[in-house]
């Protein structure tokens, strides 16, 4: 068995999600190959070759791969798919855009957002907002899988010495073109990669009130997040949203402030190593998953916490 990981990258370096996906691929058994389809992406291919556990990197380079258009990357994966028992990608917007196309063309059922590999043909994935775990066994010749990064440790980014094989790029599909990208800029860590996250919920009361969390995030060098309720209320931007319909995170420390703990939010953060909840309602569901809970007025507790941190 040989597994193919479709690398998520920016042409210069690998995204952290790729390292988690390599771990899942290795657990599925056999060798692990990584496909780097990009434009002037030699640096990303070299980074993939250095990842521990990777035995080969397949590098396809063309201008129309520059922005990761799903139609083109999927076709490149399909061009080499016959050699693989498993094809995996991160369960990010990138992977979710590409792999359904691959699965449809191969006429197989995609297995989405796995969190555990039980056997080469058997995987676990959360359902019902994480309240149940489904065990899925596939009899398809090729297993097409998206991987939830929070379920697997990241493979070491160094220590590997895989060969890099350059292959001919498939023709541009012509079905889509890159128009533009609006990227939110922040001096804080990126939400899905942050080791510490400070999140606010509807209990903050307003967007202006979120500023009370900034000194705490600054002290901890943390990313800032929010519940869907806070985002829907217009308190903060959409890209702050943590939860089933937002970003799935698993930092070392997650501080939930004024978040009641709806199922959809818990699904996005309950795998955090340590959870601290601050809420004035002692019956709030967030306390059921919290390692440490503070019942009190967040507008008093948060400044006190910042003062204690010095």
- The domain that holds 153 is classified in CATH as 3.40.50.620
CA neighbor of 230 nearest in space, from 221, 212, 242: 242
**Mean pLDDT score of the chain, rounded to an integer?**
94
Asked if residue 148 and residue 82 are part of one domain, the reply reads: yes
Write the pLDDT tens digit of every residue in 134-177. Answer: 999 999 999 999 999 999 999 999 999 999 999 999 999 988 88
Given this model, what pLDDT does residue 193 score?
86
Q: Tell me how far apart the alpha carbons of residues 46 and 158 are, in angstroms, rounded to a whole number.
A: 11
Write the pLDDT tens digit of every residue in 20-55. Answer: 999 999 999 789 999 999 999 999 999 999 999 999
Asked if residue 210 and residue 95 are part of one domain, the reply reads: no
- The domain that holds 217 is classified in CATH as 3.40.50.1220
Q: Tell me how far apart the alpha carbons of residues 276 and 257 are, in angstroms, rounded to a whole number.
A: 8
Q: Tell me how far apart the alpha carbons of residues 307 and 310 are, in angstroms, rounded to a whole number.
A: 5
213 in Cβ contact with 206 (< 8 Å): no
64 in Cβ contact with 172 (< 8 Å): yes
In a domain, 172, yes or no: no
70-103: string of b/e by CB count within 10 Å (b at 16+)? bbbbbbbbeebbeebbbbbbbbbebbbbbbbbbb
For residue 254, what pLDDT band results from cuts at 50, 70 and 90?
A: very high
pLDDT at 218 over 90: yes
Structure token digits, residue 208: 């202006």
pLDDT at 87 over 80: yes
Q: What is the pTM of this model?
A: 0.86
Element (DSSP H or E) covering residue 228: helix 228-232
Given this model, what pLDDT does residue 35 score?
98
pLDDT at 184 over 80: no
DSSP 149-180: GGGSPPPPSSS---EEEE-PPPPP--S-----
In a domain, 208, yes or no: yes
Asked if residue 143 and residue 206 are part of one domain, the reply reads: no
């Amino acid at each position: 068995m040989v597994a193919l990981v479709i690398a998520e990258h920016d042409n210069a370096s690998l995204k952290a999600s790729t390292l988690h996906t390599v771990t899942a691929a290795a657990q599925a058994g056999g060798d692990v190959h990584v496909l780097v389809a990009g434009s002037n992406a030699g640096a990303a291919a070299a980074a993939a070759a250095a990842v521990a556990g990777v035995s080969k990197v397949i590098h396809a380079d063309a201008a129309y791969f520059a922005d990761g258009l799903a139609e083109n990357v999927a076709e490149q994966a399909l061009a080499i798919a016959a050699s693989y028992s498993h094809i995996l990608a991160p369960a990010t917007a990138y992977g979710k855009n590409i792999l359904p196309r691959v699965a449809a063309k191969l006429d197989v059922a995609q297995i989405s957002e796995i969190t555990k590999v039980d056997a080469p043909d058997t995987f676990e994935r959360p359902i019902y907002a994480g309240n149940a775990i489904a065990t899925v066994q596939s009899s398809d010749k090729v297993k097409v899988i998206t991987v939830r990064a929070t379920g697997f440790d990241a493979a070491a980014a160094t220590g590997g010495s895989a060969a890099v094989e350059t292959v001919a790029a498939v023709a541009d599909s012509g079905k889509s073109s890159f128009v533009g990208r609006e990227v939110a800029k922040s001096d804080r860590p990126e939400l899905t990669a942050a080791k510490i996250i400070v999140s606010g919920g509807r209990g903050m009361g307003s967007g202006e009130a979120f500023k009370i969390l900034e000194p705490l995030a600054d002290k901890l060098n943390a990313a800032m997040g929010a519940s869907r309720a806070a985002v829907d209320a217009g308190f903060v931007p959409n890209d702050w949203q943590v939860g089933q319909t937002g970003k799935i995170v698993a930092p070392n420390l997650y501080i939930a402030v004024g978040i009641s703990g709806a199922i959809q939010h818990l699904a996005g953060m309950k795998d955090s190593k340590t959870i601290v909840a601050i809420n004035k309602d002692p019956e709030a569901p967030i306390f059921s998953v919290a390692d440490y809970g503070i019942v009190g007025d967040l507008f008093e507790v948060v400044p006190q916490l910042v003062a204690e941190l010095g």
